[in-house]
Amino acid sequence: MVTPADMTDRDTAKEVLFRLRLMHPEITIARADSGYAGQLVTWAKKHLGLTLKTVSRPKDTRGWILLPRRWVVERSPAWIMHARRHARDYERLIQHSELLITWAAITLMTRRITRRSSRRSGQPTSREADRD
């Protein structure tokens, strides 16, 4: 979900979770950082039947620390940003940005599905064929 720059993530979290529940009712657990703890966790459970697990830093830690499952969330925007179109924000309408993000995600998924299926069938991937 793309929002204007003057809206905080915390303000739009309910809308994002609501959309998630509508589009993917099979998802029952979502993860968020500790900034979303509190009322949002109880709201998601009560109104959406969704368990929102927050990932917090261990107490008395300083500096950068690898948090469990955090990389799963952080890698997705990084992969999408590899699409040349997302290097700069040129879109005037939010719907255009959302569409292009969806397009980038579909491109990533189809490339991975194709790559995996060719390995399963015993055929070399394009990289393996180039080396021979």
The one-letter amino acid code at 76 reads: S
**Domain limits, the chain:** 1-56, 66-122
Quote the pLDDT of residue 7.
85
Quote the tokens at residue 103: 């397009």
C-alpha 4/C-alpha 87 separation (Å) is 17
The pTM score is 0.62
Q: Across-strand partners of 52?
A: 30
Sign of the CA dihedral running 52, 10, 36, 101: positive
* Residue 52 backbone phi and psi in degrees, to 5: -105, 110
Q: What is the mean pLDDT of each run of 10 residues along the chain (132 residues)?
A: 80 90 94 85 94 85 80 76 70 80 87 71 51 46
**Number of other CB atoms surrounding residue 31 within 10 Å:** 15
